[in-house]
A and B are shown apart, each in its own frame.
Chain A
Amino acid sequence: MNRFINSVMNMNISGITLTAIILTLTFAITTHADDCFTVNGETIDANSNTRPFVCFQHDAHNEKAGLESCDRCHHSYDDQGKLIEGESSEDKSCSECHAGNVGSQKSFDSNRLNIDLAAKYHKLCRDCHITEKKGPVVCGECHKR
């Protein structure tokens, strides 16, 4: 929750109204379906081309996927860009590494960063689903209407 508020505080003014609306909506869904994470809420600025927000049911997913350790998703890399086995990063937000500090960027840049971050999410989920031959892969399977 803290993270949400933080990111809202850091938003540049131009996007803030829209974001506020989206966040309210997201928040509504988040609270409605229990345990539903919307990755969008973090740094992704809604605009006219975003797809419907994804409801990621963290615990249900992990149970189904039989995931024991967190670092399968919450990975950590060292300075050389090598994966550190066994070290997880669930205390950080993805954007800390993958998108830089969104709040300090101009809106055009922040849009690019959003694409960066979205691409990272996509790859993280989909690549694993393909390797495991399980779980959603095509757009509409996650971005449900």
Chain B
Amino acid sequence: MHSYYSFVTGPLAWIAFIVFICGSIWRFNSLWQLTKKKDSAVFEYMDRKFALRSIAHWLIPFGSRSMQLNPAMTVATFLFHICLFITPIFVFGHVMLWKENFNISWFALPNMAADVMTFIVIGSCIFFLWRRIKLPHVKYLTTPLDFIILMIVAAPFMTGFWAYHQFPGFVSMTIIHIVSGEIMLMAIPFTKLFHMFLFPFTRGYIGSEFGGVRMAKDW
């Protein structure tokens, strides 16, 4: 137990962060270089004003017609993404770990809030799963990898909840929690989870095209 713990909180944690940061930089850079080499027109049509206009409309809940047509999905995605980012950064246990290891600290979430947000993440994952299984047009697009990614994202929250509430076996669950978080970090650069970094660019580009060339809205 002790050696597992020291491995997952020591070397593996470092590996996870390094893979996440370097992998993301690498992937981003290779796409950037490829764009410069093969799609340089993209830079030609990119327009800060229109890009930001489009991004803003798509970051405001119900800011696009697409979101209005899919209200349940809109509510679920927004809550999901907000909680997905806020919870791990501000949950008290994690703030403590940053303090212990790097002597930096910031605001921490009340326990109750962390619990609610964890529920939201797990709940939205179940909703996404339901969409993948039940809605024919989503099912048709779904690949096994999509389920795995959903699991990768949900796992740290489920295990974290388990560990925090000290349900049976919580000691091993804490270790699994740490590992699952590390898996998620490492998966970001190499899976569709990378969309978090690409969103501003794909949205920004189509926003620039629509705004600058086509003189039309794209939301």
- A/B: CB atoms within 8 Å of each other: yes
Say yes or no: B2 contacts A137, CB within 8 Å: yes
Judged by a CB distance under 8 angstroms, whether A79 is at the interface is no
Judged by a CB distance under 8 angstroms, whether B68 is at the interface is no
Known contacts A49-B92, A49-B109, A129-B2; decide if A138 and B163 are in contact (CB<8 Å). Answer: yes
Q: Shortest CB–CB separation between residue A142 and chain B, in angstroms?
A: 11
Find chain A residues with CB under 8 A from B99 CB: 115-116, 118-119
Q: Shortest CB–CB separation between residue B129 and chain A, in angstroms?
A: 28
Roughly how many angstroms separate A130 CA and B8 CA in the complex, as a whole number?
Answer: 12
How many A residues have CB within 8 A of the partner chain? 23
Judged by a CB distance under 8 angstroms, whether A82 is at the interface is no
- Tell which of A49, A115, A119, A122 has the most Cβ of chain B within 10 Å: A49
Interface 0/1 of B1-31, CB less than 8 Å to A: 1110110000000000000000000000000
Roughly how many angstroms separate A13 CA and B6 CA in the complex, as a whole number?
Answer: 41
Judged by a CB distance under 8 angstroms, whether B105 is at the interface is yes
Q: Shortest CB–CB separation between residue B118 and chain A, in angstroms?
A: 14
Find chain A residues with CB under 8 A from B111 CB: 48-49
Q: Shortest CB–CB separation between residue B87 and chain A, in angstroms?
A: 13
List the B residue with the shortest CB-CB distance to A48. Answer: B110
Say yes or no: B171 contacts A134, CB within 8 Å: no
Say yes or no: B110 contacts A139, CB within 8 Å: no
Say yes or no: A130 contacts B110, CB within 8 Å: no
Say yes or no: A141 contacts B171, CB within 8 Å: yes
- Which residues between 160 and 204 of chain B lie within 8 Å of chain A, taking CB atoms? 163-166, 170-171, 174-175
Interface 0/1 of A89-123, CB less than 8 Å to B: 00000000000000000000000100110110011
Judged by a CB distance under 8 angstroms, whether B158 is at the interface is no
- Which residues between 22 and 56 of chain A lie within 8 Å of chain B, taking CB atoms? 47-51
Find chain A residues with CB under 8 A from B112 CB: 48
Say yes or no: B174 contacts A139, CB within 8 Å: yes
Find chain A residues with CB under 8 A from B166 CB: 140, 144-145
Say yes or no: B2 contacts A138, CB within 8 Å: no
Find chain B residues with CB under 8 A from A116 CB: 99
Find chain B residues with CB under 8 A from A51 CB: 92-93
List the B residue with the shortest CB-CB distance to A134. Answer: B2
Roughly how many angstroms separate A51 CA and B93 CA in the complex, as a whole number?
Answer: 9
Find chain B residues with CB under 8 A from A64 CB: none
Judged by a CB distance under 8 angstroms, whether B100 is at the interface is yes
Roughly how many angstroms separate A39 CA and B93 CA in the complex, as a whole number?
Answer: 18
Roughly how many angstroms separate A50 CA and B93 CA in the complex, as a whole number?
Answer: 9
Roughly how many angstroms separate A118 CA and B103 CA in the complex, as a whole number?
Answer: 12
Judged by a CB distance under 8 angstroms, whether B96 is at the interface is yes
What are 27 A-B contacts with C-beta separation under 8 Å?
A48-B112, A49-B92, A49-B108, A49-B109, A49-B110, A51-B93, A115-B95, A119-B96, A119-B100, A122-B96, A129-B2, A130-B6, A133-B3, A137-B1, A138-B5, A138-B170, A138-B171, A139-B93, A139-B163, A139-B164, A140-B163, A140-B164, A140-B166, A140-B171, A141-B171, A145-B165, A145-B166
Which A residues form the contact surface with B (CB < 8 A)? Answer: 47-51, 112, 115-116, 118-119, 122-123, 129-130, 133-134, 137-141, 144-145
